[in-house]
Amino acid sequence: MKYRELYRQAVEMIPLAYAPFSKFKVGAALLGKDGKVYTGVNVENSSFGGTICAERSAFVKAISEGCMEFEAIAVVSSDGEAWPCGICRQFMKEFCEDDFKIITGNDEDSLRVYTMEEILPEGFRL
């Protein structure tokens, strides 16, 4: 699947985000090695620490449906380009190889693509 199409699917998710506190809505589209796309949104909570980011919600959906290997994730916010937070980078590291791709951008004609290794060098795994 082309990264532009994955990015478009992330954009389509933005309205489904639950972000009444930050007003910062995020959509994610995660491409599994099974060829399926697992989408996610950020889901905030009145107890702020209970919030889950869009990236992690996509991973949790995929893993709970039996997909454990991944190729790429597109992430985008209601403000445009959005980079995974530190917690999400570590979460991804658990399931992704160094060549896993992270895609974001302000629009589909200006996508930025980085690898897992680039966004979390020397990442931790037991």
Question: Any contact of residue 104 with ligand THU (CB under 6 A)?
Answer: no
Exactly one of 44, 59, 91, 92 binds ligand THU (CB under 6 A); which one?
44
Looking at 55, 81, 94, 122, which residue is catalytic? 55
Question: Any contact of residue 120 with ligand THU (CB under 6 A)?
Answer: no
Smallest separation (angstroms) from ligand THU to the CB of 16: 12
Question: Any contact of residue 92 with ligand THU (CB under 6 A)?
Answer: no
55 classed as catalytic? yes
What is the SS3 string spanning the chain?
CCHHHHHHHHHHHHHHCECCCCCCCEEEEEEECCCCEEEEECECCCCHHHCECHHHHHHHHHHHCCCCCEEEEEEEECCEECCCCHHHHHHHHCCCCCCCEEEEECCCCCEEEEEHHHHCCCCCCC
Chain positions contacting ligand THU, by CB under 6 A = 19, 22, 24, 26, 42, 44, 51, 53-55, 82, 84-85, 88
Catalytic residue set: 55
